[in-house]
């Protein structure tokens, strides 16, 4: 009773708040209680995704590694920003992450909190004070010149400093400037401090170093004449080098301290999906199994936790994929299998293994893809007793341990992921009741070549291959969802809309409000309608 009044009072407050902001929204929270899934008004192009693709573009002061974290310090992506090319790529970011922390090879001054707007992250890792020197003064007037560049200054201790120099040659050809008035050091014992005299086209970073002392205070490399232009001055106040600057044992361009594989030039970075670093946090794939007919939307007919780890080379090309899974529940009468379609050709795959090989597992060819079936019967794999009805969705049934399994994929050579139709988690699906061809995929993900096309457009399914519309009802409800957390799923026969207070607001707003609706937090959930793992 008390709870009711608190709720009632909160609703009154919310209504008041809505009035006060001018009734600009049609949301009426009072109606939520009676709403059913088929009442939801969902846009045709909404596909219940909890991640979005964000276009990332970085430039940097010198070559280094970018890190994108959410504000809870989960690593979302890391990769190399090259001094000449920068970094351009697409990163999958959870929809509830709107602000990220950008870091650069642990150079504290270059850290930034960034607000994601229009699904873009565009950022330059330049120290503010140095930007003018780099891009302005030295390069403002002249093309076709050779510019000296101070990269950074490293303190060696005892008042000794090491200046790291590079250069930019804007000519298309190699040029020479001999040591002399037009290629000289100032405030040093000698004009010749081992600087370059032969300059290849382009930007060449950290090509030589010169020591100086606190007493000297500064040194300067100057290029002039018809070919050279500008000066690069190192002082004890100059920009400090990132830790480990210049140490790249495997010469893949990624400094040892940033390189997850410092002795291996073919590998540079481990990245994780859905989020998180080494914390072993997992996402969830949740399925309804009555397709092509609508089910009860408890989304627990098959529940899998998953985590992907990808290994990229320094050019951000994909080399290896580790997929870790845990079959948590099967609140179903049907004997459902689980599979993933991977967008790789036979010739691109060096190694593909399943561990362990569960009952009913197989690897078959798809259309330019590989189809991994991990098992054919979730109830059997989990060991459902005869007298039990469901597995881990009804507290009256015995709790059974999750079943863990994984796959490992190594490509013949690193591959540009932007050429692939999908990235992680690729194209996961269930095979309903051991009927090959009866596949249930995430909304708008295509069926495999094994799917029975006669089932599409029957029952409640409104798939339309011509417009790449798949696995949605006429009101755009899905049969599968992918969540970036270890999701606490509803108990048997409770629709998500009755267990999660804001999934309806989220879906009807095409994901723009309550994009963390799946979190197991107070106010968001109806606790007794969720399955509590004993
Ligand atoms: Ca390296
Ligand atoms: Ca490496
Ligand atoms: Ca169901
Ligand atoms: Ca169920």
Each residue of 60-113: pLDDT tens digit? 878 889 999 999 888 899 999 998 889 999 998 988 899 999 999 877 778 999
Q: How far is the CA of 437 from the centre of ligand 3 (A)?
A: 19
Residues 6+ apart with CB under 8 A from 227: 145, 146, 171, 175, 177, 182
Q: How far is the CA of 72 from the centre of ligand 3 (A)?
A: 33
Two tokens, residue 287: 């399925």
Band (pLDDT 50/70/90 cuts) for residue 2 is very low
pTM for this entry:
0.82
Residue 415 lies in a domain: no
Residue 213 lies in a domain: yes
- Residues 100-120 pLDDT 10s: 999 998 777 789 999 999 999
Calculated CA dihedral for residues 222, 223, 229, 235, nearest 10 degrees: -20
Nearest ligand by distance to the CA of 258: 1
Q: How far is the CA of 252 from the centre of ligand 2 (A)?
A: 6
Nearest ligand by distance to the CA of 289: 3
Residue 67 lies in a domain: no
Is the pLDDT score of 161 beyond 60? Answer: yes
Residues 6+ apart with CB under 8 A from 30: 11, 15
Q: How far is the CA of 216 from the centre of ligand 3 (A)?
A: 76
Calculate Rg over the CA atoms of the chain.
29
Q: How far is the CA of 480 from the centre of ligand 3 (A)?
A: 10
Q: How far is the CA of 258 from the centre of ligand 1 (A)?
A: 8
Residue 259 lies in a domain: no
Q: How far is the CA of 493 from the centre of ligand 4 (A)?
A: 6
Residue 137 lies in a domain: yes
Nearest ligand by distance to the CA of 331: 4
Band (pLDDT 50/70/90 cuts) for residue 274 is confident
- DSSP H or E stretch at residue 167: strand 160-169
Give the separation between CA 497 and CA 316, rounded to whole angstroms: 40
Question: In this structure, which residues have their CB less than 5 angstroms from ion ligand 1?
Answer: 248, 250, 252, 254, 259
Q: How many domains does the chain have?
A: 1
Q: How far is the CA of 308 from the centre of ligand 3 (A)?
A: 26
Nearest ligand by distance to the CA of 266: 2
Nearest ligand by distance to the CA of 63: 1
Nearest ligand by distance to the CA of 270: 2
CB 177, CB 131: distance < 8 Å = no
Is the pLDDT score of 490 beyond 60? Answer: yes
Residue 208 lies in a domain: yes
Domain span holding position 174? 130-235
Residue 280 lies in a domain: no
Q: 10 Å Cβ neighbour count for 355?
A: 10
- Average pLDDT (39-45) is 95
Nearest ligand by distance to the CA of 269: 2
Q: Give me the pLDDT at residue 345, please.
A: 94
Exposure b/e, 3-28, CB count within 10 A at least 16 = b: eeeeeeeeeeeeeeebeeeeeeeeee
- Average pLDDT (138-165) is 83
- Residues 341-399 pLDDT 10s: 999 999 999 999 999 999 999 999 999 999 999 999 999 999 999 888 899 999 999 99
Residue 160 lies in a domain: yes
Q: How far is the CA of 485 from the centre of ligand 3 (A)?
A: 20
């Amino acid at each position: 009773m008390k709870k009711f009044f608190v709720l009632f009072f909160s609703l009154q407050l919310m209504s008041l708040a809505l009035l006060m902001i001018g009734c600009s929204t049609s949301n009426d929270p009072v109606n939520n209680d009676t709403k059913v899934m088929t009442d939801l008004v969902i846009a045709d192009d909404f596909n219940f995704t909890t991640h979005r693709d964000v276009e990332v573009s970085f430039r940097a002061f010198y070559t280094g590694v970018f890190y994108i974290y959410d504000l809870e310090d989960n690593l979302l992506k890391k990769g190399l920003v090259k001094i000449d090319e920068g970094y351009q790529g697409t990163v999958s970011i959870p929809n509830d992450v709107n602000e990220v922390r950008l870091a650069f090879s642990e150079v504290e001054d270059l850290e930034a909190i960034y607000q994601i707007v229009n699904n873009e992250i565009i950022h330059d890792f330049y120290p503010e004070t140095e930007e003018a020197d780099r891009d302005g003064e030295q390069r403002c007037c002249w093309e076709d010149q050779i510019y000296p560049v101070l990269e950074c200054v490293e303190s060696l201790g005892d008042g000794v400093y090491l200046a790291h120099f590079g250069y930019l040659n804007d000519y298309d050809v190699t040029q020479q400037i001999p040591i002399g008035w037009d290629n000289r050091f100032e405030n040093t014992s000698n004009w010749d401090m081992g600087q370059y005299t032969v300059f290849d086209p382009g930007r060449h970073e950290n090509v030589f170093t010169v020591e100086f002392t606190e007493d000297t205070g500064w040194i300067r490399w100057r290029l002039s004449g018809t070919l050279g232009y500008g000066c690069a001055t190192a002082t004890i106040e100059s920009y400090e080098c990132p830790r480990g600057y210049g140490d790249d044992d495997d010469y893949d361009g990624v400094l040892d301290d940033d390189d997850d594989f410092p002795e291996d030039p073919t590998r540079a970075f481990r990245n994780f999906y859905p989020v998180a670093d080494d914390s072993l946090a997992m996402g969830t794939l949740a399925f309804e199994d009555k397709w092509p007919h609508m089910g009860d939307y408890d989304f627990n007919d098959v529940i899998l936790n998953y985590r992907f780890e990808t290994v990229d080379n320094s050019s951000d090309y994909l080399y290896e994929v580790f997929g870790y899974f845990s079959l948590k529940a099967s609140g179903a009468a049907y004997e459902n299998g689980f599979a993933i379609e991977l967008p790789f050709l036979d010739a691109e795959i060096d190694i593909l293994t399943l561990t362990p090989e569960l009952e009913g597992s197989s690897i078959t060819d798809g259309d330019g893809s590989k189809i991994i079936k991990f098992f054919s019967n979730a109830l059997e794999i989990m060991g459902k007793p005869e007298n039990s009805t469901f597995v881990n969705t009804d507290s009256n049934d015995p709790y059974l341990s999750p079943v863990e399994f994984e796959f490992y994929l190594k490509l013949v050579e690193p591959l540009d992921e932007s050429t692939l139709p999908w990235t992680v988690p690729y194209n996961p699906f269930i095979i309903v009741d051991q009927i090959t061809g009866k596949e249930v995929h995430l909304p708008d993900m295509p069926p495999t070549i094994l799917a029975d096309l006669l089932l599409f457009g029957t029952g409640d399914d409104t798939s339309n291959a011509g417009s790449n519309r798949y696995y949605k009802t006429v009101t755009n409800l899905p049969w599968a969802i992918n969540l970036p957390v270890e999701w606490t799923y509803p108990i048997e026969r409770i629709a998500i809309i009755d267990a999660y207070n804001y999934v309806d607001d989220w879906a009807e707003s095409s994901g723009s409000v309550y994009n963390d609706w799946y979190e197991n937090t107070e106010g968001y959930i109806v606790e007794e309608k969720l399955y509590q793992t004993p």
